[in-house]
Chains A and B, each alone.
Chain A
């Protein structure tokens, strides 16, 4: 057997040659991207920004105090009352929705993955059924025996929460399902079980914490829907809610609704920033799994 050959200079064949660099290498020119992409981006941004700017200019048309509309809003106890009421309903909706959706999505992924398309279809129903049809159905069912809820404020509040839970399904389910897809649900569950854990602890200590960003996304989408929702709240005579308050304001005042819209828009953006801020801690905690 002959020894492998070497090149004349003793280096093994195939060794890379060092490429000498120029003494003064030029820095690459900074690229600003495709101009067409920028044009589309600007047009899209204008589509969103122009109405906001128009709304703002409309809201400061009061004279002599151009911010009179904003002052009226912030001085109006019904504004904060409506916001507080809708916020409270929103939080309760989020909690109930999470308690339904998370175990369901988890169980479907773990045990009955064949049912995923069915569950997905069911969660899309709120897109198909108009809110007015939904609320009429709910009023019909819960205004007669055996369960009469429309006779009391508390009962109507419960129906309102139930309706909002249904409206939140498409957003909450998708957010949770996406989060579950990013973690190895089965292995994590089995690992926890092998260590003696029951289902409640698995959900609370293993699954929920690893869905933090997804849950927050679903939660804030739900909150945005609840705060801005009008039809269901109005038909259930929940005039304390923010949606009916905004609608009533629009019938009586010319400029204040514009101010309220911008304020609520700003609050939504604050919520999105909160998602980004809270979700930032979860970045990098991607499960580094071995091969399956």
Chain B
């Protein structure tokens, strides 16, 4: 049953459209991430749910109650800020208990609740410290506990880990997810980090220029991107110009070599130029027994740590990169060797009519 619903939400700042036609229905207890580049409207949408911005159009409903025009202090929506926003004049315990004090929770109950939350965030002996006495990771945990203290209907997190170093980010996001699952709170998480979004979420909303590009489970977003933006933003991708040979049969021509997709080509006729997207990890060296094949000379072999990236040149200046796990026992090909690269039809995605962009591999990375 739908718990948080945004319908036709639109936000204008003057003439600038920050969010356009945003529609989302989340279940109770679901963890949803808004993923996209800076300026795509994800934080603006989050702030509309929190009540810090009002939609120009549309409605926001939580548990059957419309909250679109409600002030933020009446929504029972907890928020964790990118800058932590802990009150510097209050101790950790006072920060966590602030919302309880506003609600006039009896002191004994409030003390118990604060102690519970300090245990939950693994800071049981830090209640009398001030925020400036804690590390960044500790401060963010206190901010999370403070938002949870009021038992919000919806928990909002606005890039809460972006100020932390990589190791602490990984540890803390696991904690956030564990706590969220434990408490079963419907959560909306804003991030530009695809690894965070994919690893934490039940569903991911990919946004670009104020619009939703795709909503889906992380595996679907990654493996079956609906648009060229999603394909290029999430994960690494080969983008190669191709020509439709037989749209109904899914046959394409790339650099004069024929390949197939697993389904008919839509939105393009025979002979049209399209952009073909292939994930580097879907490509193998060798014939591949019946799968699609492209042949060409090896242009470059790059050692990226756990991954070895091999780039194969194709006719017409295009190239295809493939990623393999670093295996010290395997000898990678030499530059100049003519090799075959194979990939399954399911990994061959036609993501748009028209020529491929100038870059042939997009690596957003993590």
Which residues of A are at the interface with B, using a C-beta cutoff of 8 A? 1, 183-184, 187-188, 190-198, 201, 205-206, 209-210, 212, 284-292
Contact = CB atoms under 8 A, between A and B. Distances in A.
A184 B143 CA distance: 15
B216 to A, nearest CB: 29
A291 B186 CA distance: 25
A196 B140 contact: no
Given A193-B73, A195-B98, A290 B87 contact: no
Contacts of A183: 88
Contacts of B42: none
Nearest to A289: B83
Given A190-B50, A290-B82, A291-B163, A195 B88 contact: no
Nearest to A194: B79
Interface of A (DSSP majority class): loop
Given A194-B147, A287-B131, A187 B81 contact: yes
B132 A287 contact: yes
Contacts of A196: 73-74, 76, 99, 102-103, 150
A285 B82 contact: no
Contacts, number: 105
Contacts of B98: 192, 195, 197, 205
A18 to B, nearest CB: 28
A291 B88 contact: no
A223 to B, nearest CB: 24
B87 A191 contact: yes
Interface string B126-150: 0000111010100110000011011
Contacts of A286: 88, 132
A80 to B, nearest CB: 36
Contacts of B76: 196
B89 interface: yes
B102 A195 contact: yes
Contacts of B301: 1
A292 B88 contact: no
Given A201-B102, A285-B132, 10 more contacts: A195-B147, A196-B102, A210-B88, A210-B89, A212-B89, A286-B88, A288-B134, A289-B84, A290-B82, A290-B83
A195 B88 CA distance: 16
Nearest to A285: B88
A116 B89 CA distance: 26
Contacts of B164: 290
B355 interface: no
B286 interface: no
B52 interface: yes
B72 A194 contact: yes
